[in-house]
Chain A
């Protein structure tokens, strides 16, 4: 925590206009509970991680990839990172590799030589984690399986779901043999009619993994303002009409303590593709 700053500053990425509504609302909630709190919005996670490393914010609402970037860059400076809270809906997600029903692909092995559609190149859920599943099943993306990317808003780490929807459309149009998406979007696209009921099947699913968290430098966890921040988050109730609309917008029913046990698959994906290198190089250049 910056010693010269009284206000607890949170960084968040504005992947959608609703982010402004959400954090303005939470700021009011914290103000009502006498926590001096403000928000800095970033256009992309890399900028947010660099600012966080630089001390420009005290806590960052990080995507899983941004968490790994922050953790790795902090480690290079001899500092530990910690995840202090997350949504109930950030735990135990799964990504699906989806094929057309009757499309002639009955197993992962049968994807060899075919094309698979993924989301944005920096999307953990729609690209990095499912491609890692292929690797671990002996299929090297780009060599054994052709990868078609649907890059929408790179830098948002897949928070914008447009890329996944485009991948699902390409699957139904017969342009690709399979498409990758997070479980919730698989259900969403089915309801939207992008994936008509009964027209697809889940060829493979990843083991459960975790999504966003509030990240901090570990040594700051005991700062009274951060402790109060976590206490207020965990105390937020879905029965409270003042915050329920914000919780609905942010997609949670309850805030939970942070945990970092759910990022192993993404970590292996980053290792396999050197995905952390560009951020780490940028971080080297910081004073």
Chain B
């Protein structure tokens, strides 16, 4: 090959130790294996760097020259990418973008990236599209990301409540209950996101955002609970038994049903109730903001269960069986902490006056009915008939979540 036909790569003042190697590698991509390339720069030791550089990368070192060296491009770079695979496509709407069973050896590859063959497999328990995917995930994620609120500024913390002692006690007790439930609601998606194949990027992001939502809920409920008293209320064995069945549920679909559709669905009613009956602006605001997030959590649970059911109608009886199973498991536990029930009545009453208590009690009975209607409506959306939806809703835990 004559000098005239060679590509000449001029590195300016650079050597192969301070960035020139990047420039050279970049330019070498434009030539085929076997081509000769002359490399020149102002560094006197360029040829002395070129010899080991070529050896390490599998290029031939042809000869040293006055201002550099000549190399013969080797086949190693191209060989490395033989057999590489495209891991779906970045845009979920593109044809074949989200595959049914992303392989373990795609591991942490971003969806749409080119994956080197021989990547060590990383096994994710949740790697079946029909089990986890929802076309709504991207939209729900975007809505969720846009709706993030700052606990420091979104709540009127400066409006420090000065409530009657029994009302403040009731707020503290309800907040204590909320924190405990939010903790379960954080742990469940946190566990599943760690088991989810990252190929389902939008679902992964949505679950992560859900975890972050719950972290904020825990923060603001804790802050309101401790604001005046500096201490929290009670947590009952029965309430914890109910939450434990959620945290320990290993099946993604069943967990979505029990937590998102039934639990967080019921919680929505509770938070709206607190927005309506909360005795101070802080309590009302934290309930309202949390409810906004919960509505998204419920929507995702419903969306991916609906998709799952389209592909696997046999899931429906499994879901019904899971509700029965949980009911049986909790049959001998106390259900809702009596302190929480009482606190809700007092909150809605606004005082311990008997007439007010009567109104408060009626409001809490109405709340339970509202929760029941919501559960029935959502169960019907999953495909249960009206009677079965009513029967299943009645089996839901008395702990609300």
Residue A51 CB within 8 A of the other chain:
no
CA distance A183 to B49 in the complex (A): 7
Inter-chain contact A205/B80, CB cutoff 8 Å: no
A93, A190, A251: residue with the most chain B Cβ atoms closer than 10 Å: A190
CA distance A5 to B212 in the complex (A): 63
Query: Among the listed B15, B52, B82, which residue makes an inter-chain contact with A239, where contact means beta carbons less than 8 Å apart?
Result: B82
Inter-chain contact B48/A254, CB cutoff 8 Å: no
Given contacts A184-B55, A186-B49, A238-B79, whether A197 and B18 have CB atoms under 8 Å apart is yes
Contact pattern, B 149-162, Cβ under 8 Å of A = 1, otherwise 0: 00000000000000
Inter-chain contact B17/A254, CB cutoff 8 Å: no
Which residue of B has the minimal Cβ distance to A88? B58
Query: Among the listed B56, B58, B80, which residue makes an inter-chain contact with A184, where contact means beta carbons less than 8 Å apart?
Result: B56
CA distance A88 to B56 in the complex (A): 9
* Chain A residues positioned under 8 Å from B80 (CB to CB): 238-239, 244
Instruction: State the Cβ distance, A211 to closest chain B Cβ, in Å.
Output: 10
CA distance A253 to B56 in the complex (A): 8
Given contacts A238-B79, A239-B82, whether A197 and B48 have CB atoms under 8 Å apart is no
Contact pattern, A 85-112, Cβ under 8 Å of B = 1, otherwise 0: 0001100111010000000000000000
Inter-chain contact A237/B15, CB cutoff 8 Å: no
CA distance A153 to B15 in the complex (A): 32
Query: Among the listed A182, A190, A205, A242, which residue makes an inter-chain contact with B118, where contact means beta carbons less than 8 Å apart?
Result: A242
Inter-chain contact B45/A239, CB cutoff 8 Å: no
Inter-chain contact A183/B52, CB cutoff 8 Å: yes
CA distance A205 to B50 in the complex (A): 14
* Chain B residues positioned under 8 Å from A241 (CB to CB): 83, 116-118
CA distance A190 to B44 in the complex (A): 14
Instruction: State the Cβ distance, B361 to closest chain A Cβ, in Å.
Output: 69
| Pair count A-B, CB < 8 A | 69
CA distance A88 to B75 in the complex (A): 13
Residue A187 CB within 8 A of the other chain:
yes
Contact pattern, B 109-149, Cβ under 8 Å of A = 1, otherwise 0: 00000001110000000000000000000000000000000
CA distance A36 to B51 in the complex (A): 38
Residue B252 CB within 8 A of the other chain:
no
Interface SS of chain B: helix, strand, loop or mixed?
A: loop
Inter-chain contact B74/A253, CB cutoff 8 Å: yes
B55, B75, B79, B118: residue with the most chain A Cβ atoms closer than 10 Å: B55
Given contacts A187-B16, A241-B117, whether A254 and B52 have CB atoms under 8 Å apart is no
Inter-chain contact A254/B58, CB cutoff 8 Å: yes
Contact pattern, A 193-234, Cβ under 8 Å of B = 1, otherwise 0: 000011001100100000000000000000000000000000
* Chain B residues positioned under 8 Å from A202 (CB to CB): 45, 48
Contact pattern, B 39-50, Cβ under 8 Å of A = 1, otherwise 0: 000011100110
Residue B53 CB within 8 A of the other chain:
yes
Query: Among the listed A88, A93, A183, A251, which residue makes an inter-chain contact with B48, where contact means beta carbons less than 8 Å apart?
Result: A183
Instruction: State the Cβ distance, B188 to closest chain A Cβ, in Å.
Output: 37
Given contacts A190-B15, A241-B117, A253-B74, whether A205 and B48 have CB atoms under 8 Å apart is yes
CA distance A123 to B17 in the complex (A): 24
CA distance A131 to B45 in the complex (A): 21
Residue A114 CB within 8 A of the other chain:
no
Residue B369 CB within 8 A of the other chain:
no
Residue B365 CB within 8 A of the other chain:
no
Residue B76 CB within 8 A of the other chain:
yes
Which residue of B has the minimal Cβ distance to A193? B17
Q: Which of B1-31 contact A (CB under 8 A)?
A: 15-18
Which residue of B has the minimal Cβ distance to A241? B118
Query: Among the listed B52, B61, B76, B83, which residue makes an inter-chain contact with A187, where contact means beta carbons less than 8 Å apart?
Result: B52
Residue A245 CB within 8 A of the other chain:
yes
B48, B116, B117: residue with the most chain A Cβ atoms closer than 10 Å: B48
Inter-chain contact B118/A244, CB cutoff 8 Å: yes
Residue A191 CB within 8 A of the other chain:
yes
Given contacts A238-B76, A241-B116, A254-B58, whether A184 and B52 have CB atoms under 8 Å apart is yes
Inter-chain contact A94/B51, CB cutoff 8 Å: yes
CA distance A205 to B17 in the complex (A): 19
Inter-chain contact A187/B117, CB cutoff 8 Å: no
* Chain A residues positioned under 8 Å from B45 (CB to CB): 201-202
* Chain A residues positioned under 8 Å from B44 (CB to CB): 201
The 5 closest A-B pairs by CB, nearest first: A241-B118, A253-B58, A190-B17, A241-B117, A184-B52
* 8 A-B contact pairs sorted by A residue (CB < 8 Å): A96-B48, A186-B49, A186-B52, A191-B17, A197-B43, A244-B80, A251-B56, A254-B58
